[in-house]
Amino acid sequence: MFHVQHRSSRRALLGGALLAIGAVLALGGCAQGKPDVVPSDEDVKAVVTVRVTDNVYEPAEVQITPDQAVRWEFLGPAEHDVVAADGSFVSELVTEGTYTHRFTEEGDYEYDCSIHPEMRGVVHVVAP
C-alpha cells in the first residue's frame, strides 16, 4: 500500500510540474520583448531635453518640428530607457547619460520605459 501512494504522489508531482512549465511557456509567448536598440543621434543638436528621473519623464509631452531632435537625459539612480511604441527610437536601459533622436516625419510618437510602464511620454512633431 505504501508503494502505491508513493507512485500516485510522484504522478501528482510530475503532473504539477508539467502544468507549471506549460503555463510559463504560454505566458512567455504572450509577452512582447523590448525592440532592438536604435542608435542615438549624438551628432544632432537637440532642441528639447527631457529629464528622466524618479520614474517620470519631465516634461512628459514635447512639441518639435520635422528634422529636429529630442534629447533624453538620464539622472539615475534607477535604470530607465525610452522605447517608442512604433519602435522608431529605443535606448539602452541606463542610470545615467543621454539619448538623442531626430524626428523626420510629422506625427505623435508615444513612448514609455520598458521596465516602468507607468512612465509615459509623447513627442508631437508638427509642421512649422
pTM: 0.75
CA–CA gap between residue 95 and residue 79 (Å, rounded): 4
At residue 32 the predicted structure's pLDDT band, cuts being 50, 70 and 90, is low
Place of cell 503532473: 15
Classified as helix, coil or strand, 10 is helix
Q: Which amino acid is at 98?
A: T
* Residue partners of 46: CB distance under 8 A and separation at least 6: 68, 69, 70, 71, 100
* Among 115, 39, 51, CA closest to 81: 115
CA–CA gap between residue 118 and residue 113 (Å, rounded): 8
At residue 33 the predicted structure's pLDDT band, cuts being 50, 70 and 90, is confident
